[in-house]
Structure 1
Amino acid sequence: MSNQLPVINLMGPTASGKTALACELYEQGGFELISVDSALVYRDMDIGTAKPTKEEQARYPHHLIDIISPLEVYSASQFVDDASLLIDDIHARGKTPILVGGTMLYFKALLEGLSSNLPSADHAVRAEIEAQAEQGGWEAVYKRLCEVDPLAGQKFKMSDKQRIIRALEVYQLTGEPITKLQAEQPKDLPYKYNFYNYALMPDRVELHKRIEKRLEIMWKIGFLNEVKNLMIKYDLDENLPSMRSVGYRQALDFLKNSDKSTGKQREMEDKALFATRQLAKRQYTWLRSLQEKHKFTTYLTVSQAQEDLRNCHG
């Protein structure tokens, strides 16, 4: 274990206080921060993602924030590639990386490894598949998936559009079914990092209050205007991964498809609140699943974590 490089993973559901905790650790010196958040990668999506402000980022720089446009796709495998390079660079500078965020799929991919034999996203192939869906309907695209990869056809529903696109993309690029390539991925390989896993898991009632407060602030400081500006700047639609982020999906639907009355706005805000609570619930489930396989230290409160982490890594 002595030759393994230390990596601190700081996980937790949305609004649990992870970022504030990571920033406090950063102030002790000797650390660099890597964002583990599938929404913070997008430029111009600031309010709805609770992105650290420009001032906060200047004081507490985060890697992997604002790296792509809302029209682009960023996969878990791309995250692992980028994070691994950053981790090595940070260690080369004599510092310890702190990975902080709530995208548990990214943490799982880093902790357990991904199918390295899968190709990266190919935008031309994806566009071709989406064009086929527009012309012939999703039923025809799904039927084709069932023909080339029957196992994927069993696993995915016709509504799982992103998964269907990815499976067909992999087949077109490799000539092999994605399920076959995933099954061939070696498991439990020796890893060069020594992960220290910490999770903030507040009481649900307390977390729900924090989520509600965060959303209230977001609406007040102009989240709806942010989405309007995104619509002006980019050709957005609800199937883009960026627009599947909680809050953005509901706001986009409201701006595109409603009469924009006060009643409809209130309804949209309630939907966004419900979706954020559901996200937190899924994050708790992911965390428990990860805890079954990996060593974790969990905290109910930020102050509890601050004291312990100061002693462990100070």
Structure 2
Amino acid sequence: MKKNVIAIMGPTAVGKTRLSIELAKKFNGEIISGDSMQVYKGLDIGTAKIKPSEMEGIPHHMIDIRDPDQDFSAADFKDYVQQYIDEITARDRLPIIVGGSGLYIQSALYDYNFSDVKRDAAATRKMEEAVAAEGILPLYKRLEQIDPEQAAKIHPNNHRRVIRAMEIYETTGMTMTAYQENQTMESPYRPILIGLEMEREILYGRINERVDQMIADGLVEEVRNLYENGYSDSQSMSAIGYKEFIPYFNGEHSLEDSIHLLKRNSRRYAKRQLTWFKNKLDVRWYDMTNGPIDEKLRIIFNDLAGILK
């Protein structure tokens, strides 16, 4: 029999963390973070990383496993998550993935093969020489034209990933986005996908309030510390919640401008998340807009009790 794996999906600030803790307590689960930026040490407030005091004794995985200057890809995520799924199920417990990085979660649950396209040493060398001579921006701008969706996921200073995305296009004529979308949707697991959604204006209000709370909790100081330690060009600092403050520290924006930009980017990301989940995966959706949260949890628990039998 395939292993049961629950994945809780939905836009930021919709209530995924609360549900994950309650599900883990009820169904003897362990939680795997599905957020591609919570892997980084020191990125705590801006990624809404759960505090140890909030975990209620539930084991959490995929948090603080990378230094801020290290790369982390969907392929890395897939390898880690599949290992954790094996370990958790071996303990006769239920793996529960929680997060908002849709491609990362999909890659792990549906066993994407990121090595199908063999490396082309000549093409790679040619691009590396061009980058050495001209810098990364010309190649990155070409990637933006060819595959804007992939370019949006890659920091311009991540030379390896920019070159790899362009290499796949040069070698196959297919963008990396198209390559990933054409993967076979067959899972080695029995994925149970739970989606949380909320009326847009209410969700946006919650996002704005969350940003205000992050600022009160010390987000600016957290980003400043990373900036002053030389991480401003790292992949980790391309995350929403961090990149918005770089112009402020560079003297190009006011703090108010950066906070406004963070709220806007967070709202736009939430909209993209919801669209992605609804278009790409077969998710059971639950509206969290109105009504007592305990009643909504009870409905989800009852549905899952029937599925997990």
Fold conserved between structures, TM > 0.5: yes
**Aligned partner letter, 2:299:** D
**Aligned partner letter, 2:208:** E
Q: Deviations over 1:173-206 (max 9, x none)?
A: 9x95584998599843643311111100011111
**Aligned partner letter, 1:226:** E
Question: How high is the TM-score relative to the length of structure 1?
Answer: 0.79
Alpha-carbon spacing, 1:71–1:92, altered in 2? closer, same or farther (3 Å)? same
Equivalent position to 1:77, from 56, 75, 78? 75
**Aligned partner letter, 1:236:** S
List gaps (5 residues or longer) in structure 1: 147-151
Distance in 1, matches of 2:151 and 2:16, equals 33
Q: How far off its partner does 1:309 sit?
A: 2.7
Alpha-carbon spacing, 1:283–1:210, altered in 2? closer, same or farther (3 Å)? same
- What pairs up with 1:13-24 in 2 under 5 angstroms? 13-24=11-22
Q: Deviations over 1:10-35 (max 9, x none)?
A: 00100011011101122225101000
Query: How much is the aligned-residue C-alpha RMSD, in angstroms?
Result: 3.7
Q: Deviations over 1:56-79 (max 9, x none)?
A: 247333100111011111111111
Distance in 2, matches of 1:307 and 1:107, equals 25
Alpha-carbon spacing, 1:80–1:305, altered in 2? closer, same or farther (3 Å)? farther
- What pairs up with 1:207-246 in 2 under 5 angstroms? 207-237=203-233, 240-246=234-240
Residue in 2 that maps onto 1:47: 45
**Aligned partner letter, 1:102:** G
Distance in 2, matches of 1:158 and 1:140, equals 16
Q: How far off its partner does 1:43 sit?
A: 0.4
Q: Deviations over 1:126-151 (max 9, x none)?
A: 9x9778536413465469x89xxxxx
Distance in 2, matches of 1:142 and 1:249, equals 18
Alpha-carbon spacing, 1:43–1:118, altered in 2? closer, same or farther (3 Å)? farther
Residue in 2 that maps onto 1:61: 59
Residue in 1 that maps onto 2:264: 274
Residue in 1 that maps onto 2:163: 168
Q: Quick check: 2:68–2:231 contact (8 Å CA) kept in 1?
A: no
Q: Quick check: 1:31–1:97 contact (8 Å CA) kept in 2?
A: yes
**Aligned partner letter, 1:222:** G
Q: Percent identity?
A: 28
Distance in 1, matches of 2:173 and 2:64, equals 30
Residue in 2 that maps onto 1:308: 299
SS in 1 for 2:202: helix
**Aligned partner letter, 2:247:** D
List gaps (5 residues or longer) in structure 2: none
SS in 2 for 1:42: coil
Alpha-carbon spacing, 1:251–1:191, altered in 2? closer, same or farther (3 Å)? same
Aligned residue-pair number? 294
Distance in 1, matches of 2:175 and 2:255, equals 46
Q: Quick check: 2:146–2:175 contact (8 Å CA) kept in 1?
A: no
SS in 2 for 1:257: coil
Distance in 1, matches of 2:182 and 2:277, equals 23
Residue in 2 that maps onto 1:87: 85
Question: How high is the TM-score relative to the length of structure 2?
Answer: 0.80
SS in 2 for 1:28: helix
**Aligned partner letter, 1:246:** I
Distance in 1, matches of 2:69 and 2:173, equals 24
Q: Quick check: 1:4–1:192 contact (8 Å CA) kept in 2?
A: yes
